[in-house]
């Protein structure tokens, strides 16, 4: 695996070594010792999967009291993936890193605790999978509006299919900064 840092500390792209032949392909999708060598959390306690159709936009979600690190990837299709730094005091607070996740490159994207996360489906359908470092707590579920004008995420052209919950989220500057996680 090749680990690539991004412009925001902690966000990491992980490229597996894919072995292809006439039968298909094989790769190691997670290897604990390589994650440890690259200073990434390996204590995953929950796996999730979502199937969505083209145009579905999920996010930007986070948990405050039970923050989750996430290792995300796509097993079918293609998505535009986004992580936003919401760590109070961080030099990159409110900044986003975007990437494409698909079933061709099989790249993984590690999003540590202290980031809001979301994605937009570009293919006809997509299966989005992720490992979490903490359990989901519905009472601790928060989010930032996907089209926050201060974050300036360029989601691309096309209709956006958004849940009622996600459509009612606040912009980052409307959230009491005192409750956001502290940058360490």
d(CA 11, CA 25): 27
- Of 13, 3, 4, the closest CA to residue 72 belongs to 13
Assess whether 130 carries a catalytic annotation: yes
Which entry of 15, 61, 119, 136 is annotated as an active-site residue?
Answer: 61
Assess whether 61 carries a catalytic annotation: yes
Pair type for strands 57-63 and 46-53: unpaired
Q: Are 108 and 16 in contact (CB under 8 A)?
A: yes
d(CA 148, CA 79): 19
Which entry of 19, 130, 136, 142 is annotated as an active-site residue?
Answer: 130
Show the beta-strand stretches assigned E in the chain. Answer: 2-5, 12-15, 19-21, 24-26, 46-53, 57-63, 70-76, 78-85, 96-102, 108-111, 115-121, 125-132, 141-143
DSSP state of 173: G
Active site residues: 61, 130
């Amino acid at each position: 695996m090749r680990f690539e840092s991004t412009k925001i500390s902690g966000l990491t792209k992980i490229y597996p070594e894919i072995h292809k032949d006439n039968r298909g392909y094989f790769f190691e999708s997670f290897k604990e010792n390589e994650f440890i060598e690259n200073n990434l959390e390996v204590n995953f306690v929950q796996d999730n999967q979502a199937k969505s159709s083209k145009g579905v936009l999920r996010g930007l979600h986070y948990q405050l009291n039970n923050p989750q690190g996430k290792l995300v990837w796509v097993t079918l299709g293609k998505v535009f993936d986004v992580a936003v730094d919401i760590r109070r005091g961080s030099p990159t607070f409110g900044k986003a890193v975007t990437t494409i996740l698909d079933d061709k490159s099989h790249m993984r994207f590690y999003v540590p605790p202290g980031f809001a996360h979301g994605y937009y489906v570009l293919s006809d359908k997509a299966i989005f999978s992720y490992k979490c470092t903490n359990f989901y707590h519905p009472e601790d579920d928060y989010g930032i509006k996907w089209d926050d004008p201060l974050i300036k995420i360029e989601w691309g052209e096309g209709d956006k299919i958004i849940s009622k919950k996600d459509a009612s989220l606040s912009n980052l500057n409307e959230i009491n900064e005192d409750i956001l996680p502290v940058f360490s």
